[in-house]
């Protein structure tokens, strides 16, 4: 363990669970002040309590990241509490509609499609919109956006999710190219299937089918993804910008 993030302030969306929680805990353990942003205040507060019990510094903020005004308010609250912002993980996400595109029910699934885009794609746009000026004002830093292997390859039964996650990769490239010269590096991570609460509703047969798609023979853990995110947010990744970094046990290698 190091104190490589001491003096830095970080914002993590979806920080109450899974990958976001592992990143929030990891950043705090290495010295950062961490804002845990999530839909439910109580869930975010539980992670803050855990961080504080381990000697770290954190703040719980409730926000629906599919709403620009709530993201703007969250960034402002972080800057107000800690005096600036240096690091961010735009990570909140949901599963969304499954099945073949032409079979989706118009009334239900168009609404589900819009909701998925709001949480998985527009949220990243809103996040960067308000984080980037704050990070520049603080003297520079880094952003990581959580995409997916489905931001690199397609899943026939998850067209909406695949679309949103490819969009995250695209906006990461464009924004990274736009702001690196002002000291903001922006990269995306592309996890294979990770054993988090997002997959908890899957029947065992479906879970086992997912495992079989990973040559490494298992799903990933939130901590394995967090290790990569912490690296990308750190000075060790100082020449990485606009990159799409895969962490998938070989899923996209075959
Ligand atoms: P998770 O354990 O379900 O955590 C996601 C968190 O985001 C939850 O706390 C959730 O709150 C919160 N959230 C949902 N909608 C939100 C909103 N509108 N505003 C603010 N917070 C919201 O999921 P995870 O597996 O860690 O996933 C994190 C990210 O990784 C997502 O972007 C996901 O697409 C991506 N990813 C996951 C996998 C995987 O296999 N798990 C693979 C590749 C990429 P609630 O619990 O209250 O809904």
pLDDT, tens digit (0-9, with 9 covering 90-100), for 104-155:
877 777 899 999 999 999 999 999 999 999 999 999 999 999 999 999 999 9
Percent pLDDT > 70 in the chain is: 100
The answer to whether residue 140 is domain-embedded is yes
Reported as a pLDDT band with limits 50, 70 and 90, residue 61 is very high
Angle 95-229-61 from CA coordinates, rounded to 5°: 65
Condensed to tens digits (0 to 9), the pLDDT of residues 159-196 reads 999 999 999 999 999 999 999 999 999 999 999 999 99
**Is residue 1 situated within a structural domain?**
no
pLDDT at 106: 78
Q: Is 3 within the bounds of a domain?
A: no
Pocket of ligand 1 (CB under 6 A): 13-14, 16-20, 38-40, 43, 63-66, 91-94, 119-120, 146, 148, 191, 193-194, 196-199
Lowest mean pLDDT of 109-118, 183-192, 216-225, 239-248, name the range: 109-118
Look at residue 38 and tell me whether its pLDDT is greater than 70.
yes
- Tell me how far the alpha carbon of residue 39 lies from the centroid of ligand 1, in angstroms: 10
Q: What CATH number did the domain enclosing 59 receive?
A: 3.40.50.720
Of 82, 113, 130, 161, the active-site residue reads: 161
Contact 150, 108 (CB under 8 A): no
Catalytic residue status for 161: yes
Q: 2 in a domain, yes or no?
A: no
Going by the DSSP 8-state scheme, the letter that residue 194 receives in this structure is: B
Number of domains in the chain: 1
* Separation between Cα atoms, residue 48 and residue 53, nearest integer Å: 8
Tell me the chain's radius of gyration from C-alpha atoms: 17
**Which residue from 11, 14, 64, 126 has its CB within 8 A of the most atoms of ligand 1, so it is best to mutate?**
14
User: Does residue 46 form part of some domain?
Assistant: yes
Note the Cα 63 to chain centre separation in Å: 15
- The parent domain of residue 186 ranges over 9-253
């Amino acid at each position: 363990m190091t104190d490589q993030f001491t003096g830095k302030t970080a914002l993590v969306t979806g920080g109450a669970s899974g990958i976001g929680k592992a990143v929030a805990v990891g950043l705090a353990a290495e010295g950062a002040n961490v804002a845990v942003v999530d839909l439910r205040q109580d869930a975010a507060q539980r992670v803050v309590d855990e961080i504080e019990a381990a000697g770290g510094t954190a703040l719980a903020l409730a926000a629906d990241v599919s709403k620009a005004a709530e993201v703007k308010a969250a960034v402002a609250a972080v800057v107000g509490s800690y005096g600036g912002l240096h690091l961010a993980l735009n990570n909140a996400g949901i599963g969304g509609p499954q099945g073949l595109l032409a079979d989706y029910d118009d009334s239900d699934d168009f609404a589900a499609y819009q909701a998925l885009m709001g949480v998985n794609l527009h949220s990243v746009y809103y996040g960067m919109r308000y984080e980037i000026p704050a990070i520049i004002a603080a003297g520079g830093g880094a952003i990581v956006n959580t995409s997916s292997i489905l931001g690199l390859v397609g899943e026939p039964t998850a067209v909406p999710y695949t679309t949103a996650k490819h969009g995250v990769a695209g906006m990461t490239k464009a924004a990274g190219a736009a702001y690196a010269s002002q000291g903001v590096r922006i990269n995306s991570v592309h996890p294979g299937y990770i054993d988090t609460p997002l997959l908890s509703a899957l029947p065992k047969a479906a879970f086992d089918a997912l495992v079989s798609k990973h040559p490494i023979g298992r799903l990933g853990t939130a901590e394995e993804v967090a290790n990569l995110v912490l690296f990308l947010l750190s000075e060790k990744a100082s020449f990485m910008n606009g990159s799409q970094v895969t962490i998938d046990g070989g899923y996209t290698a075959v």
